[in-house]
Amino acid sequence: MKLDLISIVSQEEKLAIEDELFYDQLLGTKPIVPPVIQPLEKRFEQYDLAQEKLREFFDIQSFCLDKCINSPYSLYGLRMFEKPKEKDMQDSKFGCCFKDEYRTNFPQDVKARFLKLQEENQNLSHPKTKGGCSYHTTNGCSLTKYKSPVCIAYACPSLRYTLSFHQNIKYNSGQMVQFFDHIFKGKITNQLFEEFIDNVTKATDRIKEIKAGNNPNIDQTIVFEY
């Protein structure tokens, strides 16, 4: 019922409903007392550490850069192995990164500072693609830090399949994006944040062990749902 109402209520009411749904799902029951809103500096501290840990998690897999980023499918949004036409290469609607998601709807007390940090953390050494996001290059994202929540947390179906069936890691992209969004709303408690860091560390260590050929016990599922 609440989800049906989201399309017809005001933006302020919509955000309140989304927050309530988030906490209902997170805690299983409605919290009696709303969590304390984290101060601004704490939010940036959490975001900085969370993005670094998740970057390490993705990098250790060598999946995105090796299997996706340089392919025409990723750059131009074509069918796998299809050679792009010149018109496709010019069209900004093509490619995995085509919506400029870095302009995500941050809270006002965060937005200006975050966009400034993005400007300060770019790698300009790789060629920009003709279509797609302003930060999309032939070697991946030119931002070294402070990517938007959807860019940090997104995992394509192929990667999620690999994580699930080969490493017993259940990764929920949508909820991970929501987790990062709630960091900047100041609504991630210290305890929940510590649980996230512990979880992503365990997942990263598991992949390292698998890649090293150590055959770790992966019977216990690691779940990325928040």
130-170 pLDDT, tens per residue? Answer: 666 778 777 778 888 898 888 888 888 888 988 999 899 99
User: 104 CB contacts (<8 Å, ≥6 apart)?
Assistant: 148, 149, 150, 181
Regarding pTM above 0.85, the answer is no
Query: In the predicted model, what is the mean pLDDT of the chain?
Result: 77
6-53 pLDDT, tens per residue? Answer: 344 455 555 555 555 655 555 555 555 556 789 999 999 999 999 999
**pLDDT-based confidence at residue 206 (cuts at 50, 70, 90):** very high
Mean pLDDT, residues 55-71 taken together: 77
CB atoms within 10 A of CB 221: 10
| Helix locations, 84-189, DSSP H | 86-90, 108-120, 149-153, 157-167, 173-184
Say how far apart CA 46 and CA 197 lie, in whole Å. 10
- What pLDDT sits at residue 133? 77
pLDDT > 90? residue 197: yes
- What pLDDT sits at residue 92? 52
Say how far apart CA 182 and CA 174 lie, in whole Å. 12
Mean pLDDT, residues 69-94 taken together: 62
Lowest mean pLDDT among 59-68, 118-127, 188-197, 211-220: 59-68
